Amino acid sequence: MITPELALMLIFVSIAFVFAYLAVEERKLIRAVVYSAVQSAAFAFLFYLLGAPDIVLVYVPVTVGIYPAALLFLIRKTEEVENP
């Protein structure tokens, strides 16, 4: 019933969920960006397991490289800690 592929996918979904939660909760914005990048990396593995290597190749540089970099440049222009 549960194939090794499915088990791996469950693991990566769980990692993604935990880091999505951490990214939402984290007050320090730079840490939140890093958590979000880890979540994206887990998603990239999911795309690979689902058989979409083309998506992985664009997903990894955009969501782990370019998108966090754009957010970091934005954070540099504002405050580093989110105020409630």
Q: Where do contacts with another protein occur on this chain (CB under 8 A)?
A: 17, 20-21, 24-25, 53-54, 56-58, 60-62, 65-66, 69-70, 72-73, 76-77
Cβ closest to another protein, residue 8 vs residue 18: 18
User: Closest separation between CB of residue 52 and another protein, Å?
Assistant: 8
To another protein, the closest distance from the beta carbon of 84 in angstroms equals 10
What does 49-82 look like in DSSP terms, one character per residue?
Answer: HTT-HHHHHHHHIIIIIIHHHHHHHHHHTS-SB-
Nearest approach, Cβ of residue 50 and another protein (Å): 13
Measure the CA dihedral 44/80/78/41, to 10°.
Answer: 0
By beta-carbon proximity to another protein, the closer residue of 7 and 66 is: 66
Sequence-ordered list of residues with C-beta below 8 angstroms from that of 78, at least 6 positions apart, any chain: 29
